[in-house]
Amino acid sequence: MRAQFILSEIGIGLRRNLSMTISVVLVTFVCLTFLGAAALLQAQIDKMKDDWYDKVEVSVFLCPANSAAPTCAAGEVTEEQREDILAALAAPQVAEFVQEIYPESKEQAFAAFQRQFGDQFWASAATADDMNASLRIKLTDPEQYQVVADVVSGRPGVESVEDQRRLFDNLFLVLDRATWAAAGLAAIMLLAAVLLITTTIRLSALSRRRETGIMRLVGASNLFIQLPFMLEGAIAATLGAALAIGGLWLGVEYLVTDWLGQSVTWIPYVGTSDVLAIAPLLVVVAFVLAAVSSLVTLSRYTKV
């Protein structure tokens, strides 16, 4: 009997404030979509870092014939200088950070250049003599780049040292800022959702003030009186969370997996499993929204 009464009260409240309930669902949907997008974007960044950083190499570019670098004053790198560089990399204090060294000649560098840029008109003017011989160093830990760079930088025969990870850091910086922007928008929308749910519960409580007064007179407890209002907010917030989860799932499935995944295949993308992984978080946030709004409102507006 009590459950039936509570359900009937919930139905009455939702019907009386239908437009406000729809507004709560939509605002919750938008804010949780932003929150979920921020979580998925961070998961995407983590996947890319895990995949790309493991493939990062340190490139030691050796002196070509005509270089203005001070370490290349003697001209093109000699075999003796090359051996000295390799010996420095094989030293005990450095060797533990070096997984593998791949020498690349000017001819090999030119072949790679042609594979990458051969279809460009300006690439036809380049020759193998324009390329740098190099040493590609695979690190056991990409975070230890500076240790290896300090050992080879400034040595005779070394024109420059480049860490491929730096090429990705700017991209990750942009993506991190996008994550924070999405999270900031989500926070603003969460505040809007709390205010809107609070308003909805307040209007519902004011419209049924007579009924709550009668319930108080016949000895109903605070929890029994307030429960229908709390459940109204929880239902609206949960519907918003369900819409957000569905929207994120569709976005990942059709935009990321089917479109981006088919167009750009060398990037590890988030999948629908990642959406399902954050789904409980979004539902919990929805319940917290409803709980906070209920606590702010009901203690005041259900008094008789």
The structural domains of the chain, ordered by start, are: 2-52+169-301 (no CATH), 57-163 (3.30.70.3040)
Q: What are phi and psi of 135, to 5 degrees?
A: -120, 120
Predicted TM-score (pTM) of the model is: 0.62
* Predicted pLDDT of residue 183: 79
Going by C-alpha positions, the residue among 227, 235, 195, 193 that lies closest to residue 302 is 227
User: Is 8 within 8 Å of 215 (Cβ atoms)?
Assistant: no
* Predicted pLDDT of residue 55: 65
In tens digits, the chain (304 residues) has pLDDT values of: 455 544 555 555 556 566 667 777 888 888 888 888 888 888 888 887 776 666 677 888 888 888 888 888 888 888 888 888 888 888 888 888 888 888 888 888 888 777 777 666 666 777 777 788 888 888 887 777 778 888 888 888 888 888 766 666 777 777 778 778 877 877 887 777 777 777 766 766 665 566 555 555 555 555 555 666 667 777 878 888 899 999 999 999 888 888 887 877 777 888 888 999 999 999 988 888 777 776 666 555 444 4
* Predicted pLDDT of residue 26: 82
* Predicted pLDDT of residue 249: 94
* Predicted pLDDT of residue 5: 45
* Predicted pLDDT of residue 280: 92
* Predicted pLDDT of residue 6: 47
